[in-house]
Structure 1
């Protein structure tokens, strides 16, 4: 399955979750312990930005049995992600030392998640659960101590809370909102590139929502700061969970009020206008100058693709 088949228009990676989160079970320690002993239970095991997968003939399998996860060195603490067909699915992490030991094995691999998703190597329906596992494991690894008093905290509620035994403070995982916007002016759209992008790749402009800021104001601010373009008519399109480390991409469209681009070189390497035909060729990887648009697994591809396909802004 190619990435274009895996992520049709309007369905980027990480948005289709096949799990029932079953949040009511998070408070039931007895039930969770029973699920951890159930042979039907499975786990996704992550290491930093990578996924531990089982090699099987010509394919790899991301959903591991709990026995496999433990044998591969996964940490004993499990994060309850939800139920699939009545069976529990957990998220687990591995240490650097354990991951290093797996590299030389023939039956297992530690593969970078973004690359696997872009290649269509993981079923799209599994990616949202994997994203949750990655975000939650990362949060636990970075928040082991109470921000209030410094005491080591303990995992609670199936991994969805950490509790301080000293000051009783409760700590919950956070999601950072990010606006990503397709700005249009007539039959042109504004795209930019950062230095770390692959050569020739352009994408929609994006940035974090600040404290006490609306989504609409964040779009207007980010677009102006990065490109000098003032915009209006900000409209919501769709969202995409983004586990790097734990963001929510809020896809929007907006109409530009001016045309001259003034690039903030501290943020972008370049930004420019592209007409609809150029954008279509970029998404199809057929631009005569070798330029390319965002990959289908990213929401930016779907913002541009909808505009190209419909002949009007993506929110229309």
Structure 2
């Protein structure tokens, strides 16, 4: 369950000062206009995808991804930046990510190192740590690189015959050598929803594996033959035992852990009593807007790189 990068605070509703040991971002309502992690800053056209060498002889910027799905990061003057390796030719085993401003980008699975092609690395960090602080291009390339590398590592054998696949089209196709069938990257749709009472209260829940005191909105996977809206109603009923209506789409966010696309919604509850399925979640409660603004509700909210936090903040600010 997740949220978007940094935004601005409305002048008429500043967040309260931080208290205790909790960071200021536990207060909702501060992030109201936030871009979600996206790939819109770069392009990988059909022609480039089909070429043996997508770089076509041009320089290539390679983004290394380690076994923990982290990338090399340098702390620049304007914030964290990904560290790319400049290559004169296409690296063996690289996956084509796309092109931006005439530069080809690729991802390569490698061990982490203290430097990349002579450039210093301050840290190896993943999407959860730096996704919200990166620029649009870096964030988009990182989420794409993590997602496609995850797909390759989880799908090394054909689902049709079980044969080991071969990699084609610069990493965007795996071929079953026995049947000749092509296997393409997949994405699992999931719904994530803020359930409100039509007034000033919403339902937040927590999983037992989360840090103590952290609450978020509800979420779950879309099942075969099910619409996203039906999945919202089913998941809410299963997790907290209430019925909903007025299911409205808000926005989406790729979340490659391992290969989800989070579809964000709001929905209005038609019943109030919570009947919690403890196999799904540990705890769920109604919280008011004032509690979320003041930080007197949950001890922690989702990080600001997640769509969950994006939806919570927009609802608290009255935008949804």
Normalising to structure 2: TM-score of the pair? 0.81
Structure 2 vs 1, CA of residues 4 and 60 (structure 1 numbering), >3 Å: closer, same or farther?
A: closer
Q: What is the aligned partner in structure 2 of residue 24 from structure 1? A: 47
Larger fraction in helix: 1
| Deviation at residue 188 of structure 1 after TM alignment | 0.7
Deviation readout 1:110-157 (Å, 9 max, x if unpaired): 323311225x2x324421221111110111112122222222211112
Gapped regions of structure 2 (runs ≥ 5): 9-29
Q: What is the aligned partner in structure 1 of residue 249 from structure 2? A: 236
Q: What is the aligned partner in structure 1 of residue 266 from structure 2? A: 253
Q: What is the aligned partner in structure 2 of residue 116 from structure 1? A: 130
Structure 2 vs 1, CA of residues 82 and 214 (structure 1 numbering), >3 Å: closer, same or farther?
A: same
Structure 2 vs 1, CA of residues 68 and 245 (structure 1 numbering), >3 Å: closer, same or farther?
A: farther
Q: What is the aligned partner in structure 1 of residue 314 from structure 2? A: 306
Measure the CA separation in 2 of the matches of 1:259 and 1:209. Answer: 24
Instruction: Assess if the C-alpha contact under 8 Å between 1:161 and 1:172 holds in 2.
Output: yes
Measure the CA separation in 2 of the matches of 1:132 and 1:207. Answer: 22
Matches within 5 A, 1:1-316: 4-5=6-7, 8-15=31-38, 17-29=40-52, 31-32=53-54, 34-35=56-57, 38-39=58-59, 41-53=60-72, 55=74, 61-67=81-87, 76-94=92-110, 98-99=111-112, 102=113, 107-108=120-121, 109-118=123-132, 120=133, 122-185=134-197, 186-281=199-294, 287-288=295-296, 291-310=299-318, 314=320
Measure the CA separation in 1 of the matches of 2:219 and 2:273. Answer: 19
Gapped regions of structure 1 (runs ≥ 5): 282-286
Deviation readout 1:45-86 (Å, 9 max, x if unpaired): 21244323165788764241244999xxxx831111111101
Structure 2 vs 1, CA of residues 187 and 54 (structure 1 numbering), >3 Å: closer, same or farther?
A: closer
Measure the CA separation in 1 of the matches of 2:203 and 2:50. Answer: 47
Q: What is the aligned partner in structure 2 of residue 284 from structure 1? A: none
Instruction: Assess if the C-alpha contact under 8 Å between 2:192 and 2:262 holds in 1.
Output: yes
Q: What secondary structure does 1:279 align onto?
A: helix
Q: What secondary structure does 1:272 align onto?
A: strand
Instruction: Assess if the C-alpha contact under 8 Å between 1:179 and 1:209 holds in 2.
Output: yes
| Deviation at residue 257 of structure 1 after TM alignment | 0.9
Across the aligned residues of Structure 1 and Structure 2, the Cα RMSD in angstroms comes to 2.8
Q: What secondary structure does 1:210 align onto?
A: coil
Q: What secondary structure does 2:70 align onto?
A: strand
| Deviation at residue 44 of structure 1 after TM alignment | 1.7
Q: How many residues in Structure 1 have an aligned counterpart in Structure 2?
A: 291
Q: What secondary structure does 2:157 align onto?
A: coil
| Deviation at residue 305 of structure 1 after TM alignment | 1.4
